[in-house]
């Protein structure tokens, strides 16, 4: 399996970092793009450095590199996950504005009918945010907001993060035990 992971400039970059770690444990090939703003947020919100995060992925690309292999429909990959997704990135994807590697790989993912998972991280949401999500959903993208559940009775923030990561891995049909599934 080959997965493209994009980390954009929204709070919650730890979701993207932890996703990379989980995919690495599963020996899944990862292709990473970190936006310029996300690089600042990584340093601000986490104990990781940008170089630490890059070292987790198998391949790295710069946000402005439109010649990157991931931006071609002929490059075969299974899914793209944009985690977290800023509202700027969401808007660009929704409107087909593929001016960087993140929005271009999302465009390729949708046009090639591959799995696109968008993890928006914003609150509250404006009507335009919701409309942009609806547009992407109508094209086959999956909107998976960073909204952890509580039925598994999380004891700490890691368990809340794992809930979201488990949901992503479930969509990708990757077995995981990151959270206790709903039981009656």
Write out pLDDT tens, residues 137-157: 999 999 999 998 898 889 999
Report the DSSP beta bridge partners of residue 118: 82, 143
Report cis status (omega within 30 of 0) of the bond before 134.
no
**3, 43, 41: which is closest to 23 by C-alpha?**
3
pLDDT at 181: 80
Alpha-carbon distance values, 121 to 6, 14, 59, 80, 150 (Å): 14, 12, 25, 17, 18
Domains and CATH numbers, the chain: 2-171 (3.40.50.1950)
Longest dimension (CA), the chain: 50
- Dist CA 108 CA 29 (whole Å): 18
Cα distance between residue 89 and residue 165, in whole Å: 20
Residue whose token pair is 């952890």: 148
- List pLDDT tens digits, range 63-100: 999 999 999 999 999 999 999 999 999 999 999 999 99
Confidence category of residue 184, pLDDT binned at 50, 70, 90: low
Q: What pLDDT was estimated at residue 53? A: 98
Mean pLDDT, range 107-134, rounded to an integer: 97
């Amino acid at each position: 399996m080959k997965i493209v992971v994009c980390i954009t400039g929204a709070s919650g970059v730890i979701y993207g970092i932890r996703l990379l770690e989980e995919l690495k444990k599963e020996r899944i090939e990862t292709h990473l793009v970190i936006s310029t703003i996300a690089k600042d947020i990584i340093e601000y919100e986490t104990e990781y450095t940008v170089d630490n995060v890059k070292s987790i992925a198998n391949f790295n690309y710069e946000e402005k590199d439109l010649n990157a292999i991931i931006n071609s429909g002929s490059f075969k990959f299974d899914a793209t996950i944009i985690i977290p997704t800023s509202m700027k990135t969401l808007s660009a994807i929704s409107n087909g504005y593929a001016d960087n590697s993140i929005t271009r790989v999302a465009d390729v993912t949708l046009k090639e009918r591959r799995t696109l998972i968008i993890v928006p991280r914003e609150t509250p949401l404006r009507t335009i945010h919701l409309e942009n999500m609806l547009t992407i959903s109508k094209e086959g993208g999956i909107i998976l907001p960073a909204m952890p559940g509580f039925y598994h009775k999380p004891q700490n923030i890691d368990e809340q993060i794992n809930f979201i990561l488990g949901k992503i891995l479930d969509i990708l049909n990757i077995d995981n035990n990151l959270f206790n599934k709903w039981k009656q």
